[in-house]
Amino acid sequence: MQTHLAPQYQDTDEGRQAEAILRKCVHCGFCTATCPTYQLLGDELDGPRGRIYLIKQVLEGEQPTRKTQQHLDRCLTCRNCESTCPSGVQYGHLVDIGRKIVDEQVGRPATEKALRWALKEGLPSPLFAPAMKLGQAVRGLLPDGLKNKVPQSRPAGLWPTREHARKALMLGGCVQPASMPGGHWSKAARSRRS
Ligand code: SF4
Ligand code: SF4
């Protein structure tokens, strides 16, 4: 994809890196088929090709808006799109650059800033597990909006017995051990069957 960077990005590392990635994209759209947010929302701008186009416009000097920011926010950064791209476009790196540039130019409401801060600091915090336990204990009393975000307490279950020499390494992550302690059990059971 031909790009013409705006002067303010031409001599920056980020601009050069983004331009090299953008130039690899042939706009074929194969990536949209594997994007979960595109499948859910059905909007081209909530898929990788549309987001690439939005980032390109910003780098070419167009003023980003809240709408641009929201389309980039909705990306899960799962990078599933990279796995189907025939041109090897490093979308994950591009969206990191795009988000940073857009956030420098588009403000966020205070409530959204507070929510983002709470998620960033709260989910990896050692206080998350006790807070989840407390939430589960009073789940029945919570308003519906909050209740839907607190999974019911379930026992982790027994760890499957080992039946072969292969080992699988599983990442606990930040919230799974507290919110879904049986998650690894079911993954291990599935991999044992396959
Ligand atoms: S699959 Fe790759 S080349 Fe095709 S539109 Fe998506 S990012 Fe661009
Ligand atoms: S990283 Fe995931 S959510 Fe984001 S555009 Fe790619 S496939 Fe879609």
Share of the chain above pLDDT 90, in %: 73
Distance 32 CA to ligand 1 centre (A): 8
Do 69 and 116 meet the contact criterion of CB atoms below 8 Å apart? no
Q: Which residues contact 189 (CB under 8 A, 6 or more apart)?
A: 160
pLDDT band for position 90 (50/70/90)?
very high
- Average pLDDT over the chain, rounded to an integer: 91
Q: What share of residues in the chain are helix, strand, coil (percent, to 5)?
A: 60, 0, 40
Looking at residue 110, its pLDDT comes to 97
Mean pLDDT of all residues in 84-107:
97
Q: Ligand 2 within 6 A of 139 CB?
A: no
Q: Ligand 2 within 6 A of 90 CB?
A: no
Is the pLDDT confidence value at 162 over 90?
no
Which amino acid type is present at position 42? G
Q: Where does residue 41 rank: exposed (0-12), middle (13-18), buried (19+ CB within 10 A)? A: middle
7-107: CATH number: 1.10.1060.10
With the most atoms of ligand 2 within 8 angstroms of its CB, the residue from 31, 91, 97 to mutate is 91
The CATH 1.10.1060.10 portion of the chain extends over 7-107
Mean pLDDT of all residues in 135-151:
91
Distance 191 CA to ligand 1 centre (A): 32
pLDDT band for position 121 (50/70/90)?
very high
> 36 versus 156: which is more confidently predicted?
36
Is the pLDDT confidence value at 157 over 90?
no
pLDDT band for position 160 (50/70/90)?
confident
Distance 46 CA to ligand 2 centre (A): 9
Distance 5 CA to ligand 1 centre (A): 20
pLDDT band for position 190 (50/70/90)?
low
User: Which DSSP letter does residue 63 get?
Assistant: P
Looking at residue 136, its pLDDT comes to 94
Q: Ligand 1 within 6 A of 89 CB?
A: yes
Q: Encoding tokens for residue 12?
A: 């920056």
Mean pLDDT of all residues in 82-92:
97
Closest to 47 in 3D by CA, of 63, 30, 64, 59: 30
Mean pLDDT of all residues in 128-155:
91
